[in-house]
Amino acid sequence: MSRRQIEISIADQSLALCEAGSIIKIYRISTARNGAGNQNGSGKTPLGRHRIRAAIGAQQPMNAVFVGRRPTGEVYSEALARQHPQRDWILTRILWLCGCEIGYNRLGNVDSQRRYIYIHGTPDSEPMGVPLSHGCIRMRNADILELFDEVSVGTVVTIRSA
């Protein structure tokens, strides 16, 4: 799996899983409503070369709810959503990203890891292909389950605006 990479296009709202330069699969995603940017507090999706720092949620059920990267024991449902209308739902699995470019997406006021930038599941009622997140990369729950099993900690993730 070490030769696998993830290529994210903000313009296309797509995530491509690649191996040895060939695309294995393309997924529709949702990046930040505020666009692309690396500044802490911007609510934007960071650009540049990253790697998966942690893969969180193995063995959790589909639609498991996470808060602070820990499963709450809840499973997302419309009833739960009505009880917590302001939650930014992080579901199923988390791939926590760490920037690789010092001064651009790592350390200081541009650190993707300290910004808690993830690739994660979101309610299936949320649209894909439309930028709506708070900075993370949202995926369908079935898609993040599939991707989670195809990558590992250390996998390179490149995020581009185009």
CATH number at residue 115: 2.40.440
Domain assignment present for residue 124? The answer is yes
2 found inside a domain: no
Instruction: Please say if the pLDDT value at position 136 is more than 70.
Output: yes
Domains of the chain: total: 1
Exposure on the CB side of residue 30, measured as CA atoms within 13 A: 20
pTM of the model: 0.96
Quick count: other Cβ atoms within 10 Å of Cβ 149? Answer: 12
- Residue-wise pLDDT for 14-43, tens only, equals 999 999 989 999 999 999 999 999 999 999
16 found inside a domain? no
- Residue 71, domain member (yes or no): yes
Q: Which residues contact 136 (CB under 8 A, 6 or more apart)?
A: 31, 32, 45, 90, 116, 117, 118, 119, 120
24 part of a folded domain:
no
**What count of other Cβ atoms lies within 10 Å of the Cβ of residue 139?**
27
Residue 123 lies in a domain: yes
Domain that holds residue 37: 30-153
